[in-house]
Homo-oligomer: A and B are copies of this chain.
Amino acid sequence: MKGAKIKNVAMNKQLLFVKRPQGEADASTWSLETSAIPEISEGQILVKQHYISLDPAMRGWMNDAKSYIAPMEIGSVMRAGSVGEVVASKNPQFEVGQYVAGTGGVQQYAVTDGKGFYQVDPKLAPLPMYIGTLGMPGMTAYFGITEVGKVKEGDTVLVSGAAGAVGSVVGQVAKLKGCRVVGIAGGAEKCKYVVEELGFDACIDYKNENVASRFKEECPKGIDIYFDNVGGEILDIALTRLRMNARIVICGAISQYNNKTKIKGPSNYLSLLVNRASMTGMVVFDYATRYAEGAQILGKWMAEGKLKSREDVYEGIENFPETFSRLFSGDKMGKLVLKVIED
């Protein structure tokens, strides 16, 4: 065309959710699309998303089932927590150059009216931490162990997924509250990290040790709190070790998320009766009005060196499916994060 100039236009890569998986989500679950970065309308902002969060709960969002959040629709951008920079704003609450966290989805640029997005400060903590210990996983851990678990000094606390984004914070908070804390994680390397870096009293390697006998060794008088991220057999064994008035916090059940058949219920649930114990489900969204409080407390502990955090950062939006599978294989260390765009 006469006079037409080819401009080096930035494009937006988006990962669309195109097929509901049965069992494990494989690459055919998503489709990577490239399109122009959309214009924003009045009231909207454009966020250049640096990092997106990978969480076990995302597997549940893919199912067409009633849950604590609407199931994802086929053809929509894969839902995900994210953190990035405001690069355009027609919303008076946000300015270009600010960094924000929210649920921006697996895409390089997100257009949003700003609902659920809030400003973060990259000078106080690295960006990935705002979708980890200072984000949803940290809030889940903090409110889960304090409000639902009602942790108190002297409790014996058992935590599964102890090397993960939620479990690692649960255990450290319980230690700070004066508890004996025993973790459960997969593999010697993770267990070493949990004990030596995070300061748990012990960590049981469920892949290589006899979980039932190790529970007895490490919690000889039983457990006051079991913070459950995994479900399945480990929940069932934990039920046999309850002390009187014990609390089980049901935060997740990663061992069951990829099931194609009915999930395994806890056969030993009558231990709740014998021990006057409770099993209570939690969803972090219920504490939304208190996130600032939680982040302030966790941030203070981090600044004081009392709370440690590790992010396992992968790169490339095209690598999302492979990275996602690490959540379930356990082949990661700490909070799993994907960098989806160049700085």
B-contacting residues of A (Cβ < 8 Å)?
66-68, 231, 236, 250-253, 256, 262-283, 286
B267 touches A262 (CB 8 A): yes
Q: Closest CB of chain B to A259's CB: distance in Å?
A: 10
Q: Which of B231, B252, B253, B273 contacts A281 (CB 8 A)?
A: B273
What residues of B have a CB within 8 angstroms of the CB of A251 in the complex? 273
Q: A263-B267, A265-B265 are in contact. Are A281 and B272 (CB under 8 A)?
A: yes
B280 touches A269 (CB 8 A): no
Q: How often does this chain occur in the complex, in copies?
A: 2
What residues of B have a CB within 8 angstroms of the CB of A266 in the complex? 265-266, 269
What residues of B have a CB within 8 angstroms of the CB of A256 in the complex? 270
Q: How far is the CA of A252 from the CA of B270 in the complex (A)?
A: 8
Can you offer 10 A-B residue contacts whose CB atoms are under 8 A? A68-B275, A250-B270, A262-B267, A263-B270, A265-B267, A265-B268, A269-B279, A272-B280, A277-B280, A279-B280
Q: A279-B278, A280-B278, A281-B278 are in contact. Are A269 and B272 (CB under 8 A)?
A: no
Q: A231-B270, A253-B270 are in contact. Are A281 and B286 (CB under 8 A)?
A: no
What residues of B have a CB within 8 angstroms of the CB of A67 in the complex? 274
Q: Closest CB of chain B to A341's CB: distance in Å?
A: 33
What residues of B have a CB within 8 angstroms of the CB of A250 in the complex? 269-270, 272-273
